[in-house]
Structure 1
Amino acid sequence: MVNESYSFERYLNVRTAFGPHFSPDGKKLSFLTNITGVAEVWSVPLERQISAPLWPEQLTFRGERVSSAVYSPHADVLLVSGDIGGNERAQLFLLQADGSRLTPLTSHLEAMHIFGGWSPDGQSITYSSNERDARYFDVYELDIAGGEPRLLLQQDGTNYSSGYSPDGSQVLVSRWISNTQSQFFLVERESGRVRTLTPDVSSGERGALYQAASWSADREGLYLLSNRDRQFHSLAYLDLTLLELQYLREDAWDVELLTLARDGKTLAMTLNEDGYSTLEIFDVSHGWEQRQPLLVPTLPRGVIAEMAWSEDGTQLALVYATADEAADIWIWNLQTGTINRATQSSRGGIPRSAFVSPTLVRYPTFDGREIPAFLYLPGDQQQQVPVIINVHGGPEGQSRPLFDPVTQYFVSQGYAVLAPNVRGSTGYGYEYQSLDDVRLRMDSVADLQHAALWLRESGIAASDRIVVMGGSYGGFMVLSAITNYPDLWAAAVDIVGIANFVTFLENTGPWRRKLRESEYGSLEQDRDFLEKISPIRLVENITAPLFVIHGANDPRVPVGEAEQIVAALRQRQVPVEYLRFEDEGHGLIKRSNRLQAYPAIARFLQQYLIPASETTPTAR
């Protein structure tokens, strides 16, 4: 093992900045950062950014997570969304841009409120809420000057407002059928008339996902992303008169982010190429056929997680990160052709040279496929080392080369970390994403088995020191791996994972059950299969010591999932440690809780993986 240079606390002190939004005059930028231990709203002036970022000002002091903050198009106020204790029941607030007043706009504390957008005149907002029935999301409009919300669309489904039309007469609505299928609708504000824009998946065609729609400059159509009739999400144009969808490009990867300036004249998009982002910007003021490519900033290979235009379309904010640099916000000025850093998040006093970038690898699995993965290796020894296989959640997710303090800490301690994108991951096409659906579920777990076998055979891993760790669906993968392939693992870490698919589907938030059943299977049709593959049914196979973390307020994977597996292992006297956090939900958000949980995980792994002769000195 290498000598420890920095404690886990130092790594967890690395900060991030995200959620950018420009003030109406383009002179300030609001953003979210966890400097205080939980995400709050901050603001930074953009003048004189060329020399150095100016010091930001904190605007909210909730002590609870803020999930978004969006400026009004005309006034110095922001619409803020935030929950309590990680319960995801977000409420909406109006924030004065100087931070002097935070006024609640919603009062149904047991309901979720999802912001859709400001009206063009800045007088109203639209949002979605499940206050009528916890299973369904309807669309509402609220005059921010006062009054009661007005119901725009009631429907027994999952309806999310995607903002107003440029003239403010209509609201664009996205209806989610599952996590991989959706439709677009337009709702007239005055009459309530609903116009369907994209096909109903019940018509017999393969389900498609439509997202990221923005109006064209002539307001006659929508630019959007879709994977209808194709493997990858592609840039398309929807004619609002004919309702004809035309694909504009043929890319071999997903177009991941798409955003147009408010006037529809400038389009920015990113491609997800094997986990890395490629940015392209076009002048589309005269339509796509007469588009003009614009200069884009030169950045090291990394990931662009968010984009936002200024009101006048001259500035583009990018949330950008690499594996060895945490997410910060950069501003690309189209007029000057310059890029400047708007935020400078702390590295916890750790030099960037101490962080490690991964290598993109592919390992063989049981059916001859090659599974993509990011491999982080410690600098001093790269053979016969302890390895953590870190499994992403979702399963509609993807491990990306993004900065992760947990990964960086363990690599600094001599562990290798493998972040695989097993079948079912997004980013590699519709077919690959569908390879773990319902009855194919255990094939993805077999991909984990073959990850461990590859690590052994390649000589990277010490064969008796391989750990599997994951959160949410990744937590299910952990529990499934140690029950189905018990001889491979020296230890395991389950964070907010699923132990029992039956109780998970029975107890998950009612708004989520239908969306998840197309992926996992339904209790009505697949109960026997779901019971069969649930880790709790195979608990007698577990021999690896297990560390379990869960939040008491988790609405997605209820805390009972953790307590089932913990109780079963304690009864069998298998080593298990359990941390339950009363003020957390689906994952650990608060810094104080992370400072308790992750060093505990490190001590747990050291106990079971690292001989006493290899322990490291006290960290700085």
Structure 2
Amino acid sequence: MVKETYSFERYLNVRAAFGPHFSPDGKKLSFLTNITGVAEVWSVALDLQAATPLWPDQLTFRGERVSGAVYAPHADTLLVSGDIGGNERAQLFLLEADGSSLTPLTSNLDVMHIFGGWSPDGQHITYSSNERDARYFDIYEMEIATGERRLLLQHNGTNYAHSYSPDGSQIHLTRWLSNTRSQVLLVDRATGAERALTPEPDTEGRGTVYQAAAWSADGEGLYLLSNRERQFHSLAYLNLSTLELRYLSEDRWDVELLEVTKDGTRLAMAVNEDGYSTLALFDVSQGWEQRQALLTPTLPRGVIYDLTWSEDGSRLALTYATADDTMDVWVWDLVAGAIARATQSARGGIPRTSFVNPSLVHYPTFDGRQIPAFLYLPTEQQQKLPVIINVHGGPEGQARPIFDPVTQYFVSQGYAVLAPNVRGSTGYGYDYQSLDDVRLRMNSVADLQHAALWLRESGIADSKRIVVMGGSYGGFMVLSAITTYPDLWAAAVDIVGIANFVTFLENTGPWRRKLRESEYGSLEHDREFLEQISPIRSVDKITAPLFVVHGANDPRVPVGEAEQIVAALRQRQVPVEYLRFEDEGHGLIKRSNRLLAYPAIARFLEQQLHK
């Protein structure tokens, strides 16, 4: 019997739903989905007794990416965030819940606006913006009825507003000193006075992160996640009177999501265990010491991306993804003890049985460490295969076992795909995450070399058909791999990658540069080293044919990075193909562009691997 195969276009038409939020009365759920080709806001009535999800209503028709939508506390309106052309300069909008109007609340299209939260009475919002100076984010408040806004906190740093206190008198915020150092503060709404709740991180010492803070039921403290003085992010309680931080659990893995009900009585958290998520729920109405564990839903092994409680705390919505099925929104009813899919994203007409789950593997690298990776194999032949090593971005990122149409397509065509979590990846503790910092950068590239060697020696890979592919920082890893270990690769694919660390740091968004220097190094102190390890400096060593994709509006890795490497290879007559998208930023968001780029990549690899 001949196995049915499907075009790349079919795989790229698999949809996803995410970013849920309950209406104040709990009868509707807003969410984002890319049904139309780009993420827009949709809404669905909740009926957990229905055999299948009810058909949703589309609420926005921007034709541009929406990044978030949050209901007001007491009104049938939503606060919506979205940018244009992938430029990440998000604007804020007020959306009527029936979709009848979408009113801009901000109008400076050159400025980023990052939503914080609604005031308890629903009359105001708080947000962060770099309007004053592109390098810094200040805290603002806006009155929704009049559109009047005021500057609550001016500070030459990266300040992100979050939620209001239960009585509405204060707003808690996070101040980031680098990508691995943050601080929690309160700002008084009436006076603008700030109060630090955690110490200012030592810029030279060990990184410490505080995140996901949520108010306790009595308003006397914050639940939050932190890795202060420990390897993993764990659940902690911060007493607002004494500023004592007390850890509430001892975890072997990162707690990565934390959500507390509006009244502070129920707590949900998701733990990242070797890339897979586990969910824990507690009644904390009498405090953590008197907590009661609540029943949790049974779900297939996968990854949780969002958690949000209904207004009354009786339901929990979560975005859930597995490697062999679409990303969708599920709702867990605590009273009924039942979970149901609130959305049903289309699978492009491809049977779910066609999709493959990965195996969690570990391979040895140069210093004896075992590198975790997810290995996808076709169901038929599993030896001497063409293999794609797909490198995640970040570098503080992690390959997770979620549905990826690109991976699933290539596996269906007989490729193996290996998604490694090389040193520097998150999810495996602070020390592991720090193993590639600054002068250790090239050790992570050596982990890619050993991935290729392991694939070859295990018999999985045909040694003459190994490809390296990656996006963003993963794009740097691709370019570095083909310059440092040129003989290993049959071809390579660089998507929005860094070719030159010096020009990258000079030209990246000014709000990002100082946050990234603790990871990459600074131009002031490390310029010579950054020049030395930049792939553009070793371009003469490249022999692998290269495919490059970049968005013209990329604020993180400017498009000049792609154009440097493409020009250098064309000058040297090394095979290179280049797709530049004028309406994209850091990665390909719009389906129309993905339908151009990824089939072209597939044709390129077919040509290079089957000469």
Same fold (TM over 0.5): yes
Instruction: Please state if 1:535 is matched with 2:535.
Output: yes
- Code of the residue aligned with 1:553 in structure 2: it is N
Find the residue that maps to 2:230 and give its secondary structure. coil
Residues 105 and 147 in structure 2, CA contact (< 8 A), matched pair in contact too: no
Partner residue of 1:476? Answer: 476
Partner residue of 1:435? Answer: 435
Structure 1 residues 473, 441: CA separation in 2 closer, same or farther (over 3 Å shift)? Answer: same
Residues 49 and 341 in structure 1, CA contact (< 8 A), matched pair in contact too: no
TM (norm. structure 1) is 0.98
Deviates more, 1:49-58 or 1:61-70: 49-58
Find the residue that maps to 2:213 and give its secondary structure. strand
Partner residue of 1:567? Answer: 567
Partner residue of 2:128? Answer: 128
Residues 137 and 160 in structure 1, CA contact (< 8 A), matched pair in contact too: yes
Residues 4 and 413 in structure 1, CA contact (< 8 A), matched pair in contact too: no
Find the residue that maps to 2:407 and give its secondary structure. helix
> Following TM superposition, by how much is the alpha carbon of 1:541 offset from its aligned partner in structure 2, in angstroms?
0.2
Structure 2 stretches lacking a partner, 5+ long: none
Matches within 5 A, 1:115-514: 115-202=115-202, 206-514=206-514
> Following TM superposition, by how much is the alpha carbon of 1:290 offset from its aligned partner in structure 2, in angstroms?
0.4
1:487-514 per-position Cα deviation (integer Å, ceiling 9, x unaligned): 0000000000000000000000000000
Cα RMSD, aligned residues only:
0.9
- Code of the residue aligned with 1:535 in structure 2: it is P
**Alpha-carbon distance in structure 1 between the residues aligned to 2:52 and 2:594:** 31
Matches within 5 A, 1:5-20: 5-20=5-20
> Following TM superposition, by how much is the alpha carbon of 1:288 offset from its aligned partner in structure 2, in angstroms?
0.4
> Following TM superposition, by how much is the alpha carbon of 1:202 offset from its aligned partner in structure 2, in angstroms?
3.0
Which contiguous aligned blocks of 4+ residues in structure 1 show a shift greater than 2 angstroms?
Answer: 47-51, 202-207
Partner residue of 1:39? Answer: 39
Residues 365 and 450 in structure 2, CA contact (< 8 A), matched pair in contact too: yes
**Alpha-carbon distance in structure 2 between the residues aligned to 1:559 and 1:200:** 35
Residues 49 and 342 in structure 1, CA contact (< 8 A), matched pair in contact too: no
**Alpha-carbon distance in structure 1 between the residues aligned to 2:162 and 2:99:** 27
Structure 1 residues 240, 48: CA separation in 2 closer, same or farther (over 3 Å shift)? Answer: closer
1:361-413 per-position Cα deviation (integer Å, ceiling 9, x unaligned): 00000000000000000111000000000000000000000000000000000
Matches within 5 A, 1:591-606: 591-606=591-606
Q: Percent identity among equivalent residues?
A: 80
**Alpha-carbon distance in structure 1 between the residues aligned to 2:374 and 2:480:** 22
> Following TM superposition, by how much is the alpha carbon of 1:3 offset from its aligned partner in structure 2, in angstroms?
6.2
> Following TM superposition, by how much is the alpha carbon of 1:149 offset from its aligned partner in structure 2, in angstroms?
1.4
**Alpha-carbon distance in structure 2 between the residues aligned to 1:594 and 1:147:** 38
Find the residue that maps to 2:279 and give its secondary structure. strand
- Code of the residue aligned with 2:212 in structure 1: it is A
- Code of the residue aligned with 2:144 in structure 1: it is I
Partner residue of 1:96? Answer: 96
> Following TM superposition, by how much is the alpha carbon of 1:449 offset from its aligned partner in structure 2, in angstroms?
0.2
> Following TM superposition, by how much is the alpha carbon of 1:47 offset from its aligned partner in structure 2, in angstroms?
2.5
Residues 424 and 435 in structure 1, CA contact (< 8 A), matched pair in contact too: yes
Residues 4 and 412 in structure 1, CA contact (< 8 A), matched pair in contact too: no
1:133-164 per-position Cα deviation (integer Å, ceiling 9, x unaligned): 00000000000001431000000000000111
- Code of the residue aligned with 2:312 in structure 1: it is D
> Following TM superposition, by how much is the alpha carbon of 1:484 offset from its aligned partner in structure 2, in angstroms?
0.2
Structure 1 stretches lacking a partner, 5+ long: 612-620
> Following TM superposition, by how much is the alpha carbon of 1:51 offset from its aligned partner in structure 2, in angstroms?
2.2
**Alpha-carbon distance in structure 1 between the residues aligned to 2:449 and 2:381:** 24
Structure 1 residues 203, 421: CA separation in 2 closer, same or farther (over 3 Å shift)? Answer: closer
Find the residue that maps to 1:168 and give its secondary structure. coil
**Alpha-carbon distance in structure 1 between the residues aligned to 2:508 and 2:283:** 45
Deviates more, 1:602-611 or 1:124-133: 602-611
Residues 48 and 340 in structure 2, CA contact (< 8 A), matched pair in contact too: no
The total of aligned residue pairs comes to 610
1:286-309 per-position Cα deviation (integer Å, ceiling 9, x unaligned): 000000000000001110111100
Find the residue that maps to 2:128 and give its secondary structure. strand
Matches within 5 A, 1:537-616: 537-610=537-610
Find the residue that maps to 1:156 and give its secondary structure. coil
> Following TM superposition, by how much is the alpha carbon of 1:180 offset from its aligned partner in structure 2, in angstroms?
1.2
- Code of the residue aligned with 2:293 in structure 1: it is P
**Alpha-carbon distance in structure 1 between the residues aligned to 2:384 and 2:81:** 47
Structure 1 residues 534, 431: CA separation in 2 closer, same or farther (over 3 Å shift)? Answer: same
> Following TM superposition, by how much is the alpha carbon of 1:107 offset from its aligned partner in structure 2, in angstroms?
1.1
**Alpha-carbon distance in structure 2 between the residues aligned to 1:502 and 1:591:** 32
- Code of the residue aligned with 1:241 in structure 2: it is S
**Alpha-carbon distance in structure 2 between the residues aligned to 1:293 and 1:610:** 56
